[in-house]
Every structure is written in structure tokens, then in C-alpha cells.
Chains A and B, each alone.
Chain A
């Protein structure tokens, strides 16, 4: 059998000689190092854009923009979108998308209001019911995605319509007036409570915060901790990166996805509560743009729509960037369409940067 054709076996007999593959990293240029740094800290780009836009508007508009009052006004204006975007970030990190976030927030706020005023439940119970409903809808989304294996886009597109329609049917399209809430169930407006830091004696100026703003910041900080420092957070990244690999490594992919959508529903319900505080009344027609605005904040914040990459702090900066542009351009007297135009440019630029970061030299 053995002929000269079997020469390749000679390698086996003589063994390996000479050097074998060296595992040393290649030298990197400056651009590659920036790329590497962004890889590790993806929130740096939106942070830089945020800082630049604050400086630019500060120089253009002076103290009209660069005052504690105006800067904290931005926080108040982005609080609802910010909270929803925090939830959206979780879903997008698992390579999903949640189009029903806005509808869940609105239905939760309607439930909180109607349970109090229609059924006469104690307002604390009504708020808990609203939070529970939001969580349940989110969990249902998660079950459809993780167990029934339906695409997240389709599941949440359907759920968006279902929840929104349920919202109008259940509320009978009625708004609960702000005065009624204030006199009978002020807890519903709790997150709209304002307090000032450093105002002058007449109460004007100074940094103005609401509890909703505090809640938004807390949600971002807690989620940032969970994503970075708990196994659950690392599993979210792993699932978003490659669900099959995560499963083989011993991650419970199903439970991870369901928990993410359920938590998203819960956070959206908090946003619904904050929404009552922000507009004062319970209105079934509010919050219609929350899903698109939240996705915008996530994308500008540098989280990859393909999942598994990005930092939730980036979303926070992304939401603030939108807020800075909106207020800055309004104060500058520009047409509101300029805001949308610039946001559009930012979205495309953010995705381009994301693609560049992914393109690692391997």
C-alpha cells in the first residue's frame, strides 16, 4: 500500500521544526488604537458629540443656553424618552427591537389612572397594577420571541397595535384631567414633582429637577451596573452576539430573553408613570412617538442594532444629544425641521461609526 504518494507522512515522522506561530500582537497605528479604545468604551463617541454640541450651542447662545436652568430643562424634556430608551437598549443588546415600548408606557399610565378613578382603588395599588401590567406585556413579548421563535420586529409590531388599540378601547379615549389627579390622587403625578437647586430668592432660574429625572438617571446607573457587573448582564451581551454560542457555553438563552423583555415592560410602565407627572393628566393619545424616539437615542448612543455591542451609558448620552439639539436650535430660533434633519444625519453617522468599530483587524 505504501508508495511514494504517501510522502506527506514524512512530516509526521520528522516532527515539526523551526518556529511555530507566534501569538504576539501586531503593532498598531494611531487609528487602530482609537478603534481599539472605542471597542472597549463604545460610549466615548456619543459622549464626545454631546460635549461638542453643548460647547457649540453654549458659544452660539451664551448664557441663554449655558445656564443651570436651560441645561436641567433638557434633562426634564428627555426624561420620558430617556427611561424608555434605557429599556430599549436592553432589547437591542439582545439583537432584538421593541416597537411596543411607547404603547406599553401609555397603557400603563392609563391603567394607573383608570384603576384609581373608575374602580376607586387606592392610588398606590393602581400604580402597582400599572407596573405589573407593563411587566406582563413585556414578558409576553419575550415569550413569543424566545419560546415561539418569532422575530422580535414582528412580535412587537403586532403588540404595538394590540396594546395601543386596547389602550383606546379601555380608556374610551377619555383623558383624566390634571386638576382631578392633583386633588384626588397626587401620587400619580409624583414623578413630576420639581425641586430647585441654587434658585434666586424669587424662585426663578437655578437648576430644576423632577423626581422623574432622578428616576431616569437611577435607571441608567442601575442598568449600567447590571450589564457590566452581573452574570445576567454578560449573558445579555452573549445572547445578542451569538445565541447559539451562548447556549453551548451554558447560558439559559430563553430565560435571558424573557427577563429582558419583561424588565423592558416594567421600565416602560415607570415611564408611563413619569409621563403622568410630566403632562399632569392621563391621556391615551400621549407618547405616540416614544418608540421611534427611543430607538433614535439608542442608535445615536452607539448601541449596535445587530446586538451584543454598545454601552447603555451611550444611550443616556444619545438621549441628551437629541435634547440638546432640540432646545439649542429652538433657542437659536431655527425651524424645528433643522432638528430632525440633524438628528437624521447623526443616526446615519452613528451607524457608520458602529460598522467601523465592528471591522476589527483580526
Chain B
């Protein structure tokens, strides 16, 4: 099977620091790939290179086998790669529907949309409601309620729903459970599995080993700026993964 998203020989230097050192990366269709690594191992540089937030100095990114060059996150989004940032990138005072369509609003057809630039609120609300109920988040009653009135887990849910609504090819989740309690984390993990069951591959960056081992199909272990190995959660324990990550143990061949 051909990987949907690939990185080949990626290099990124910040002054004298080499964040990415000829790093490779593969994401296959329909899988959840977790990316783990010690702080400073370069995993966020890797993810940023994939999502267009940084431009690698060397190497190439291939989407469905085709070479792509992203100069901004907007480029990557246009290609169907959506990122859910750790900060969620939502405007707290605006409504759920407003946030879901921020930056790609729908306008009314005809003269009201073309000349008066009027937003098609009913269509956006309908689509937002559809997306949320598809992902089982419809207990959020009012699509017009401000995002700041939601709990942390609900906000994460809305952010994931936004990515799922527009991310046609790849969804990148950056530490989705870091700020959440046990119960809310659980809900978000279910949401992630639900998104995968729709056939959209997911890159999951997380520090939480139990969460990674629970949902990931494969785990990309990042160390010293490159891919150390890729393991299957069934074959190793969490302690093994931590040992690889920190260099306490070398991966077998």
C-alpha cells in the first residue's frame, strides 16, 4: 500500500541547532499514526513541516505520491490536510458555527452573496450541526452558543469536528488530550477512533502513553531529529517505547 503522506530526507536547521536531520515519515491510508519523542527530539518540527507551518531546508513532502510544497498552513489546508492545534485556534467569543467556518465562510447564492457578501448562516449552521451529530457531539444543543461556554472536552470536540469536516485527506492532532480530565480524554479518544472509522488517516502527537497505546495503529518514535523506528503497540510495552524514546534501549534491527 502506498503511503498517503510521506516525508523524505527532511532537514530543518535553526541556526546551529538541527531540529530535523534527514528525517523520513510515512502515513498510510486509514491509520492512526502516533508520533512520540522526548521534548526537543524534533517532533513538532516534523509535524510543522507536514502541515506547512515551517518550510524544510532540504527534503521533500509527498502527498499521495505527488510532491507538494507548502509555504503556509493555508496551503496544506487547501490540499486537505487539517491540523488541530494544541491551543485549538478558536475564537472563544464566537459561536460554534462561526468557528467551524472561520476563514472559509459560505456566502449566500445570487446577488445577496456576490454584491452584499452576505453569509449563508442557515447553511453553515446546518452543516455544522450535521458534522457534530455525525461525530456524536449533538448533545451540544445550541450551535450558536459561544465556544467559551463549552467545556474543554467539548471545545476539543468542536475543533476535531472542524478538522473532520474539511480535512479530506489527513488530520493532524497536536496533544488533543493534554488539557483534559480523564473522562473528557476518553470522549476525545472515542472521537478520534470515530474519525478514523470514516477512513481519514490521523497523525496523533501525544505525550500520554496509555492514550497512544490505546488508539494508535503504529507508533513513530522520534529521536535526535530523525525517525528511530516505527513500532506496533501490540508488539511492545509502554516502557519499551519510553526506553526507545530516551535512548535507554536500542530498537531490534
Contact = CB atoms under 8 A, between A and B. Distances in A.
Interface of A: 1-2, 5-6, 8-9, 11-12, 16, 20-25, 36, 39-40, 225, 229-232, 234-235, 237-238, 241-242, 244-246, 248-251, 308-309, 360-362
Interface stretch (B15-23, B30-38, B98-106, B196-204): B98-106
Interface string B81-96: 0010101111111100
B134 to A, nearest CB: 14
B232 interface: no
B89 A231 contact: no
B117 A232 contact: yes
Contacts of A361: 149
Contact of B89 (A21, A225, A245, A360): A245
A238 B146 CA distance: 12
B238 A9 contact: yes
B184 A21 contact: yes
Interface stretch (B1-9, B135-143, B217-225): B135-143
Nearest to B89: A248
B124 to A, nearest CB: 10
Interface in B137-172: 137, 139-141, 144, 146, 148-151, 153-154, 157
A20 B214 CA distance: 16
A250 B74 contact: yes
Nearest to A229: B118
Of residues B137, B149, B240, which shows the largest number of chain A Cβ atoms within 10 Å of its Cβ?
B149
Contacts of B226: none
B90 A249 contact: yes
Nearest to B147: A241
Given A23-B139, A24-B139, 12 more contacts: A9-B237, A21-B187, A23-B187, A230-B116, A232-B117, A234-B98, A234-B105, A242-B91, A244-B89, A245-B89, A246-B89, A250-B102
B154 A23 contact: yes
A230 B117 contact: yes
Contact of B90 (A235, A245, A250): A245
B77 interface: yes
11 contacts: A1-B237, A1-B239, A21-B186, A229-B118, A230-B118, A231-B119, A238-B94, A242-B92, A245-B89, A246-B103, A308-B93
A256 to B, nearest CB: 11
Contacts of A40: 144, 146
Interface of B: 73-74, 77, 83, 85, 87-94, 98-99, 102-105, 107, 116-119, 121, 137, 139-141, 144, 146, 148-151, 153-154, 157, 183-184, 186-187, 190, 210, 213-214, 237-240, 243
Contacts of B116: 225, 229-230
Contact of B102 (A24, A244, A249, A360): A249
B105 A22 contact: no
Contacts of B119: 229-231, 234
Contact of A1 (B99, B141, B243): B243
Nearest to B106: A231
A238 B147 CA distance: 12
A9 B213 contact: yes
A1 B139 contact: no
B135 to A, nearest CB: 11
Contacts of A229: 116-119, 121
Contacts of A251: 102-103
Contacts of A362: 148-151
A200 to B, nearest CB: 41
A6 B237 contact: yes
B85 A248 contact: yes
B107 A360 contact: no
B93 A241 contact: yes
A361 B145 CA distance: 13
B157 A39 contact: no
A232 B137 CA distance: 29
Contact of A246 (B102, B107, B150, B214): B102
Given A21-B184, A245-B87, A249-B103, A309 B213 contact: no
Q: Which 9 A-B pairs have the closest CB atoms?
A: A250-B103, A23-B139, A248-B89, A21-B183, A231-B105, A241-B91, A249-B102, A245-B89, A238-B91
A222 to B, nearest CB: 10
B148 A249 contact: no
